[in-house]
Amino acid sequence: MPVVTRGAPLDRLLRPVHRWVWRDVDRRLRKLLTFADVETDGGRDILRAAEVTPDPLLRRLYLEHAIDELRHGVLFRERGVALLRAQPARRAPFFSGNPLPGGHGLDDLRIEGQPDHRLLAFLHVAEKSAAGRFAIYRAMVDDDPETRAIFEQILRDEVFHMNYTYTQLARIAPQTYRRHVWYARAKRLWNRYLRVAGAVAGLLGGAMLTLMYFVLLPLFAWLAKRAERREPLGWNPVSPARTSSPKSQF
Ligand SMILES: [Fe+2]
Ligand SMILES: [Fe+2]
């Protein structure tokens, strides 16, 4: 399997956005701290996979994998905190969020009830994507040798994770491993589509409500004021038909 050093086509296309995100120190340290959480959570999940797998070889590999991910979490957290401490003064950046998906994609990982072949296929796809993305991030932090060295180190581990998951998948499902990988890819794409669709629906909903507030609300306010002007002021005489109405019941 070739070593991933270029990233997925979409990520290569989004290089200017990646560059914009990593250029700002505030956004950079937020990214690193987010990665720290994702890697640590992924490490915990893989530790759980090591507990539940019936395969002794996979248990050893999962354990090694989990230790790597937990170490990545520590590396990212320490670097993020170091950058935070080096900041001369806190300032609010123009945009401190993250317009792009995170590095690893292990946040979608589900362990309970998953057979090993499905888990390995998912991990292989996620690790391959992480390796490609970390290769891009490494190029984005040329001005920061310490962060670059962390990406360099983590990238080597991610390539190992990508390769061992594929080899083990081929071992435990020699007839169907390709199908499992395609299924994992399709599921990942579908989950990504759902996230994008949810974000777009949120944006459209917000835009529609804003539009209604500024276009429909003034119209109804104007109609209400016009109706109010037509109403006579003070006490109004009541018609005889309405005054006889209460007595008719008794
Ligand atoms: Fe990792
Ligand atoms: Fe990994």
Task: Determine what percent of the chain is predicted with pLDDT higher than 90.
Answer: 58
- Label residue 99 by pLDDT band (50, 70, 90): low
The CA 158 to ligand 2 mean position distance, Å, reads: 4
User: What mean pLDDT do residues 43-52 have?
Assistant: 95
Given a cut of 70, whether residue 212 has pLDDT beyond it is yes
- Would you say residue 220 lies in a domain? no
The CA 107 to ligand 1 mean position distance, Å, reads: 11
- Would you say residue 3 lies in a domain? no
- Would you say residue 4 lies in a domain? no
- The single residue listed with the structure tokens 């949810």 is 198
pTM of the model: 0.75
The CA 181 to ligand 1 mean position distance, Å, reads: 19
Given a cut of 80, whether residue 8 has pLDDT beyond it is no
The CA 128 to ligand 1 mean position distance, Å, reads: 11
Nearest to 156 by CA among 75, 233, 246: 75
CB atoms within 10 A of CB 112: 8
pLDDT (0 to 100) of residue 10: 76
pLDDT (0 to 100) of residue 244: 62
The CA 65 to ligand 2 mean position distance, Å, reads: 7
Task: Determine what percent of the chain is predicted with pLDDT higher than 70.
Answer: 86
The CA 1 to ligand 2 mean position distance, Å, reads: 16
What are the backbone dihedrals phi and psi of residue 126, each rounded to the nearest 5 degrees, phi first? -65, -40
Given a cut of 70, whether residue 63 has pLDDT beyond it is yes
The amino acid sitting at 181 is: V
Give the ligand whose atoms come closest to the C-alpha of residue 37.
Answer: 1
Tell me which of 13-22, 98-107, 230-239 is least confident. 98-107
134: CATH: 1.20.1260.10
- Would you say residue 213 lies in a domain? no
- The single residue listed with the structure tokens 């990214």 is 31
User: What mean pLDDT do residues 200-223 have?
Assistant: 91
- Would you say residue 247 lies in a domain? no
- Would you say residue 243 lies in a domain? no
The CA 5 to ligand 1 mean position distance, Å, reads: 15
The CA 78 to ligand 1 mean position distance, Å, reads: 15
Q: What is the pLDDT of residues 190-208, one digit of tens each?
A: 998 999 999 999 999 999 9
H runs (alpha helix) in the chain: 9-13, 15-23, 25-52, 56-86, 116-140, 145-172, 177-211, 217-230, 240-243
Give how many domains the chain has, as a whole number.
1
The CA 71 to ligand 1 mean position distance, Å, reads: 8
Task: Taking the CA atoms of 94, 100, 38 and 114 in sequence, report the sign of the dihedral they define.
Answer: positive
Q: Give the domain range for residue 129.
A: 9-202
Q: Which residue has the higher pLDDT, 226 or 246?
A: 226
- Would you say residue 61 lies in a domain? yes
- Would you say residue 87 lies in a domain? yes
The CA 45 to ligand 2 mean position distance, Å, reads: 12
The CA 71 to ligand 2 mean position distance, Å, reads: 10
The CA 159 to ligand 1 mean position distance, Å, reads: 10
pLDDT (0 to 100) of residue 227: 87
Alpha carbon distance, N-terminus to C-terminus of the chain: 95
- Label residue 229 by pLDDT band (50, 70, 90): confident
Q: What is the pLDDT of residues 154-199, one digit of tens each?
A: 999 999 999 999 999 999 999 999 999 999 999 999 998 999 999 9
Give the ligand whose atoms come closest to the C-alpha of residue 46.
Answer: 2
pLDDT (0 to 100) of residue 249: 58
